[in-house]
Amino acid sequence: MLDPNQLRKDMATVVNALARRNVLFDAGRFGQLEARRKAVQVETETLQARRNALAKLIGQRKSKGEDATAEMSESQSIPVRLKDLEHDLALVQGELNEWLMTIPNLPHASVPAGVSSEDNVEVRRWLPPGTPVDAQGNPRPFPFAPKDHVALGERMGLDFDTARKLSGSRFMVLRGPLARLHRALAQFMLNLHTGEHGYEECYTPYIVNGSTLFGTGQLPKFKDDMFWVTKGGGDEPVVDDRGNVVPHEDLYLISTAEVTLAGSMRDTIVTQSDLPIRLTAHTPCFRSEAGSGGRDVRGIIRQHQFDKVEMVQVVHPDVSYQVLEEMVVHAETVLQRLGVAYRVVLLCGGDMGFGSAKTYDLEVWLPAQNTWREISSVSNCEAFQARRMQARFRPEKGKPEYVHTLNGSGVAVGRALVAVLENYQQEDGSVIVPQVLRPYMGGIERLPA
């Protein structure tokens, strides 16, 4: 959530920054809400001061034996009005917060202006040593016509028909060596991030409440892209693990482990010495993608259920942009160890995620499509999520401050499987297993066609 104090002090900066995201901020609406809030607070403070003055005056009159009936009558009416004002203030603040919850984060000054992926800026690219390139610097086409991951995978255990029977479209079943390769990729990524990059591995719930999703920014804006969960038992009361009846709250399947890893900081104050906090998890992710239209219908690029190894860091605000660059390198290391070509792209304002202040995408080369496709996204959310979650740290001196949160795919497992299948395919339809994955595959070096 945006900082209301920044809106009050420097509205022009906020309006101009959001314009770089192609978002028109309604300054008039904010001004009206602020005027209402100020009016309530001014009257509240005036009445509180009057109540204190009356208490003093009543005491003085009584000490002198004078009549204080009028002052006492006025004093007794003040609490009623203060209660009304408290209600009015809660209403206007609730309306303001509900509106601010729908407004995206401000882009960092280094984020380029733009409206779509066409305006993103390539930062660098990496190709395995010895990779021949074409005139555009892309990996040169294979000496044979490459098959896409569907044609390759369906011979090895990629089963869409069974998945469609079980669940519908945009799901998959993996069998045999292909299922093992999928598992090997996730294990390799987790071992890399925990063993070399300093992340703590976590196992977290796949079902979360709405408060968690509000905190990390998925709600309310992306509610239609979530899968909602309905409990059995109808209208029976919900009881927590202590036997207390709790109010009903909608539940959702997670769209990314960022939700639970970052969300674990909600309503938390850590000490400055606890920072940075580095967390990683391998989870399934569930996205209905109501707005995705007919994109990537074929194959496993865009599924309703997919796996991802997520990285989250919770850091001191002074170092968050240094950490952003480090996290990009952590994701890059996965792709370099797998030996697949990729490029790093800085997203423009119009293509960034809702909560991000700055985002890099990693795009892997897919020879069958002869193009680059996103496989990881790494973002600095600054204090945007922390403000929604009330996630803070206590400095050595002074009051608690908001942490900065960062998240990134380290990387999407299904898309990594696509990259391996397409980049390591042979002319006979078999697929070489990357060297780094062979220990997880029981020494298997090749998946037969």
Q: What is the pLDDT of residues 46-88, one digit of tens each?
A: 999 999 999 999 999 999 988 988 999 999 999 999 999 999 9
At 212, is the secondary structure helix, strand, or coil? helix
φ, ψ (nearest 5 deg) of residue 420: -65, -45
Which of 173-177, 281-285, 290-294 is least confident?
Answer: 290-294
d(CA 107, CA 359): 9
Judged against a pLDDT cut of 60, whether residue 233 lies above it is answered with no
Asked if omega into 436 is within 30° of 0 (cis), the reply is no
In this predicted structure, what is the pLDDT of residue 404? 98
CB 211 within 8 A of CB 254: no
At 186, is the secondary structure helix, strand, or coil? helix
Confidence label for 410 from pLDDT (cuts 50, 70 and 90): very high
How is the chain split into domains, by residue range? Answer: 26-100, 117-447
Q: What is the pLDDT of residues 313-366, one digit of tens each?
A: 999 999 999 999 999 999 999 999 999 999 999 999 999 999 999 999 999 999
Instruction: Map tokens 């479209």 to a residue.
Output: 169
CB 115 within 8 A of CB 348: yes
Strands (DSSP E) contained in 384-423 are 391-394, 401-402, 404-412
Judged against a pLDDT cut of 90, whether residue 232 lies above it is answered with no
d(CA 148, CA 199): 34
Report, as an integer, the average pLDDT of 100-128.
Answer: 96
d(CA 285, CA 407): 15
Instruction: Map tokens 């987790």 to a residue.
Output: 190
Q: Which pTM does this prediction carry? A: 0.90
d(CA 222, CA 202): 25
Strands (DSSP E) contained in 340-412 are 342-346, 358-366, 371-380, 391-394, 401-402, 404-412
For the chain, give the number of residues. Answer: 449
The continuous run of DSSP H or E covering 310 comes out as strand 305-315
Distances (CA, A) of 94 to 90, 168, 170: 6, 40, 39
Q: What is the pLDDT of residues 258-273, one digit of tens each?
A: 999 999 999 999 999 9
Confidence label for 231 from pLDDT (cuts 50, 70 and 90): confident
Q: What is the pLDDT of residues 394-409, one digit of tens each?
A: 999 999 999 999 999 9
Q: What is the pLDDT of residues 6-26, one digit of tens each?
A: 999 999 999 999 999 999 999
What is the dotted CATH code of the domain comprising 117-447? 3.30.930.10
DSSP 250-308: -EEE-S-THHHHHHTTTTEEEEGGG--EEEEEEEEEE---TT-TTTT-SSSSS-SEEEE
Which pair of structure tokens corresponds to residue 236? 């029976």
d(CA 47, CA 82): 7
CB 295 within 8 A of CB 302: yes
Judged against a pLDDT cut of 80, whether residue 238 lies above it is answered with no
What is the average pLDDT value for the chain, to the nearest integer? 94
In this predicted structure, what is the pLDDT of residue 103? 95
In this structure, which amino acid lies at residue 129? P
Kindly give, in sequence order, each residue whose CB lies less than 8 Å from that of residue 62, ignoring residues fewer than 6 positions away.
68
d(CA 361, CA 376): 6
Could you tell me whether strands 277-286 and 200-201 are parallel, antiparallel, or unpaired per DSSP bridges? parallel
Please calculate the CA angle 25-30-32 and round it to the nearest 5 degrees: 140
